[in-house]
Amino acid sequence: MSTPIINIFTYGLPYKLANQIYKEFQDRLKEVHFLIENSIRFKSLVDYKETVELLLALSIFHKRVVSNLDGALKFYGTVNKYSQADTISMGSYDLTVEEKNKILGLLINYRELIKKFGISEVDFDYNETKDFLSIVNQLKKTDDYAETKQNKNSKGREDKEDDLPF
């Protein structure tokens, strides 16, 4: 039995944040299954439930973790611009230039990875679960079109896997 993807995304996160992400995921996943089973608009996703689940977990992780890391970088940049401070103290935590650079490297790798799979950060900009499914439906249509086009163009050529950015 494999580990649920949401557990992989939340591993190592503080309990309060991990629990919030897990609960949101479970609530939205129930809604996803209901909409796919009962809505004509999303019937085309019935065979892709596992992929939808992965994208849902990724989108929630993006909203709750990645966007906050991005915000921390922007905050650091603004403070540094006006004060030339190397370290920003927030309670007992010190955000140093080294920490900032680690976060920046992580975000660069993350963005390269999602770009490699044709996912844009805009795809994670939704409020309602039905909006998320509409985005997934559009990604599927785009992928189906690209696959059809590639099959017509390649005729016997093997695809070469690009290197991951890390």
Residue 158, pLDDT score: 52
Summarised one tens digit per residue, pLDDT across range 113-124 is 999 988 899 999
Mean pLDDT score of the chain, rounded to an integer?
Answer: 87
Residue 166 lies in a domain: no
Residue 12 lies in a domain: yes
Task: For the chain, give the number of residues.
Answer: 166
Dihedral over Cα of 16, 2, 47, 30: its sign: negative
Residue 118, pLDDT score: 84
Q: Are 130 and 36 in contact (CB under 8 A)?
A: no
Q: Are 101 and 58 in contact (CB under 8 A)?
A: no
Question: How many structural domains is the chain composed of?
Answer: 1
Residue 140 lies in a domain: yes
Summarised one tens digit per residue, pLDDT across range 102-155 is 999 999 999 999 999 888 999 999 999 999 999 999 888 876 545 555 556 655
Helix (H) or strand (E) holding 95: strand 93-95
Residue 40, pLDDT score: 94
The domain of 143 spans 5-147
Residue 78 lies in a domain: yes
Residue 155 lies in a domain: no
Residue 85, pLDDT score: 86
User: For residue 45, which of 143, 111, 165 has the smallest C-alpha distance?
Assistant: 143
Residue 152 lies in a domain: no
Distance CA 87, CA 80 (A): 9
Q: What is the DSSP letter of 65?
A: I
Q: Is the pLDDT of residue 166 over 60?
A: no
